[in-house]
Chain A
């Protein structure tokens, strides 16, 4: 765990923006959790609630030159990278107004125009792609970086390990973010990751690795900022391991009997939003009323997103056959 570190001072706007982003993810996921239980949402969803500080702490350091790849648990990364919330909700409901016109669903939400290479249904599917976008940024000298998010499960996948090696061999502007939420499906990461920590693996590839409290936005923001700056400067790739827990199951419907009661404790004592709020109000950088106003706006935003999604049209039969190729 990182010690309390000197945090770079963020502006009021940056702080509000970070809080808004995390709150949006939290409300989005909590709402999807409730709506899914009604049976209206098709397929599988994998919720990110609890992990917001990771997505927002990292992505608040990125801009339009940068790309990210995500996992099946991708809503948080999508929102943090600027994908439209209304389009995301519609996609989850399988409507034509969705980010992917209803053809991708929760696990494949993407917006390449925002540098979001997609949530990914294949564990370990993202890191090789990020080697590619990072390579493109390097060849074109855009100064952009690529961030590959993956889980503790994905950290064991061959594709992830190969990508780390390749990124180091080619000295790519890539950042590998291992979101260790304690479980890969129903299997504990303490069991499936043989080493003491995922961060320790970085040294084996010849890149820096740090372990960060994933519930602490400021710690994440600082560690990510350093890694991203290093990459932009031509200093090559880094690995960041976030440690935290997910509030919901692997998928919605997971009875989670493999867990103890760590979620209750986390929500009460470790929650990233509570800690963020406590810290900024204590220092006086933001007032509680500022945060309440954001909460209200976000609530309305999510309500609007759900209403629109539920009213939106479904794709038609003609849509079934379109967009397989650019031109066949």
Chain B
């Protein structure tokens, strides 16, 4: 179909193509160029993991490094959005949301509603999430449930390079505030991505694998864990259908429910903590709207209710793995009253 590039490159390409297409798109964040005021290279980092590399020179004046002042520059991105710009701000690690959350959930999310429909806030906040790099408790969380809970925000969690480019393109073109979650362990994942620009709609889940025996609802990096589990289960005749949510807000309920109507069995795989999460959200959705189709209770495969541990020996047990998913599938397929 198309050439193969990494998740990181797909994101960078979406940014570059949209900045080319629309002058009002600007980028800001800590070290999004990297080198402001420093004697060496002025584009030294291009983002802590290199997503924005190259943009600083290609689009002069439109890539702004910031001091470490999230509330000020996230707020500035939001304010600039109300004034006709399309800022793409970077909240380096979603774990830092604590120092700027007010600007996101009390300001950006609420302007349109509080101002009676008279505000348009087309801001994108890109942020890294997820465990697996031994970055420990304050740099590894999956906090998308907190944002999903807030009316007025849209929340996007791409799992593949193709989805990353298309969803980031849509996020930039979208006229509502979008929080865009990038799993730090996916940046090197390669996949086919068209060279041309394209936008993927929000609120459209992707059935990445078809199967009639169980519905695995998942998102982000866990999509790949679920695929691994499905490959392990296939030889024994259990065919898993995997639904990648892609966006948690808006949520594609129809695709989830349609799948559950077909299989009657649900496993939700979510790297976030189990309380008040996407796992509980989907479980409730299915219990309310597909109750008649269910042939077993919903199984949730999530991280535990603990902070993310540092030691690899612990972190590897913290993150849901294919075996945990296989076990959950066996539970629902083997369940009898």
Contacts of B72 in A (CB 8 A): 127-128, 131, 159, 162-163, 165-166
- A interface bracket (residues with beta carbon within 8 Å of B): 35 or more
Shortest Cβ distance from A108 into B: residue? B114
A129 engages B79 (CB within 8 Å): yes
Whether B5 is near chain A, meaning CB under 8 Å from some CB there, is: no
Chain B 70-116 residues near chain A, CB threshold 8 A: 71-85, 87, 99, 102-103, 106-107, 110-116
Chain B's interface size range is 35 or more
| Alpha-carbon gap, A23 to B80, bound state (A) | 33
Shortest C-beta distance, B106 to chain A (Å), equals 5
Contact indicator A325/B152 (Cβ below 8 Å): yes
B91 to chain A, nearest CB (A): 13
Q: Which residues of A contact B237 (CB under 8 A)?
A: none
Residue interface bits A100-138, CB-to-B below 8 A is 1, else 0: 111110001011110001101110010111111101110
Q: How far is the CA of A98 from the CA of B74 in the complex (A)?
A: 29
Q: How far is the CA of A165 from the CA of B69 in the complex (A)?
A: 9
Instruction: Tell whether, in the assembled complex, residue B118 and residue A136 are in contact, meaning their CB atoms are under 8 Å apart.
Output: no
Q: Per a CB cutoff under 8 Å, which of B74, B83, B112 touches A67?
A: B83
Contact B117 A137 (CB under 8 A): no
**Centre residue among A67, A108, A324 by max chain B CB count within 10 A:** A324
Measured between C-beta atoms, what is the minimum distance from A173 to chain B in Å?
12
Query: Are A104's CB and B114's CB within 8 A?
Result: yes
With A111-B118, A323-B112, A325-B112 already in contact, the answer to whether A169 and B67 are too (CB < 8 A) is yes
- The chain A residue with its CB closest to the CB of B123 is A132
Which B205-242 residues have a C-beta within 8 angstroms of A? none
Highest count of chain B CB atoms <10 Å: which of A131, A146, A322? A131
Take A132-B82, A136-B80, A165-B72 as given contacts and tell me if A328 and B250 are in contact as well, using a CB distance cutoff of 8 Å. Answer: yes
Q: Evaluate contact between B116 and A125: CB separation under 8 angstroms.
A: no
B301 to chain A, nearest CB (A): 29
Residues in A with CB closer than 8 Å to B171 are none
Which residues of the partner chain A approach B64 to less than 8 Å between Cβ atoms?
135, 170
Given contacts A132-B79, A166-B76, contact A325 B118 (CB under 8 A): no
A102 touches B116 (CB 8 A): yes
A131's partner among B76, B112, B118 (CB-CB below 8 A) is: B76
Q: Tell whether A118 pairs with B114 under 8 Å between CB atoms, given A133-B80, A170-B64.
A: yes
Known A-B contacts A125-B102, A125-B103, A128-B79; A165 and B67 likewise in contact (beta carbons under 8 Å): yes
Distance of A327 Cα from B154 Cα, bound (Å): 10
A104 proximity list for chain B (CB < 8 A): 114-116
Q: Which A residues from 129 to 164 make CB contacts under 8 A with B?
A: 129-133, 135-137, 139-140, 146, 158-159, 162-163
Question: Please, which residues of chain B bring their CB within 8 A of the CB of A328?
Answer: 154, 176, 203, 250
Residue A326 at the chain B interface, CB threshold 8 Å = yes
Considering only residues 313-328 of chain A, those with a C-beta below 8 Å from chain B are: 322-328
Measured in the bound complex, the distance between the Cα atoms of B110 and A121 in whole Å is 11
Tell whether B26 is near chain A: CB-to-CB under 8 Å: yes
A2 and B40 CA atoms in complex are apart in Å by 46
Please, which residues of chain B bring their CB within 8 A of the CB of A102? 116
Contact between chains at A117 and B79 (CB < 8 Å): yes
Chain B residue at minimal CB-CB distance from A158: B71
Do A323 and B82 have beta carbons less than 8 Å apart? no
Interface residues of A (CB under 8 A from B): 67, 69, 98-104, 108, 110-113, 117-118, 120-122, 125, 127-133, 135-137, 139-140, 146, 158-159, 162-163, 165-166, 169-170, 322-328
Seed contacts A117-B82, A122-B107, A159-B75; 10 additional CB < 8 Å A-B pairs: A100-B118, A104-B114, A127-B72, A128-B103, A129-B78, A132-B80, A136-B83, A139-B26, A322-B117, A325-B176
Identify the B interface with A (CB < 8 A). 26, 61-62, 64, 66-67, 69, 71-85, 87, 99, 102-103, 106-107, 110-120, 151-152, 154, 174-176, 203, 250
